[in-house]
Copies of this chain bind each other. A is one copy, B any other.
Amino acid sequence: MNMNHSDDQRDQMDNETSDLSKARLRAWLQILKVSRKIEGELREKMRIEFGSTLPRFDVLAALYRERDGMRMSELSKSLMVSNGNVTGIVDRLVSEGLLVRVPVENDRRASIVRLTEAGEKDFAERALVHEAWVSELFSDLSARDADGLIRILRTISHHNEAPHD
């Protein structure tokens, strides 16, 4: 049996399961905890202040960034939720008059979803309030820590990038 350097593969693996992997698990549980807590706070504020929901806000936000509209598939990919999920939320937003579905030239399967004027106006106002809520909920987060947080989280999300495309 061929054992080499002090940090050899076998020991490293064992340490990893007992130490590093536990640290990573703790990190994940902490991410989950914060994200649930913040989501809960924002959901409540959305409901009380806007009479709306987080998923609807997310859809509006995505479409506000893409003013020419997006296909349903682009929308669901960008929000990382299923296609069928987006269908229902868009349906409700359309019936509220905030979105429209526009047929796509040369492809009758697809449709583009876009903000209406009312949707644009509504979202523009709400986005500012939303940003203020988040800033308040994160008020103990310094600029330095915000950057550190983003950097670390990016290393995680890059590793889990969809392998295709």
CB-CB under 8 A for A37 and B157, given A23-B146, A26-B146, A146-B27: yes
A145 interface contact, C-beta 8 A: yes
Chain B residue with minimal CB distance to A157? B34
Of A17, A30, A154, most B-chain CB atoms within 10 Å: A30
Q: Are the C-beta atoms of A160 and B38 separated by less than 8 Å?
A: yes
Residues of B within 8 A of A3 (CB): none
Interface residues of A in 125-139 (CB under 8 A from B): 131-132, 134-135, 137-139
Least distance between A53 CB and chain B CB atoms (Å): 15
User: Given B20, B28, B41, B156, which contacts A160 in the complex, CB threshold below 8 Å?
Assistant: B41
A: residues with CB less than 8 A from B are: 16-17, 19-28, 30-41, 80-81, 131-132, 134-135, 137-141, 143, 145-150, 152-160
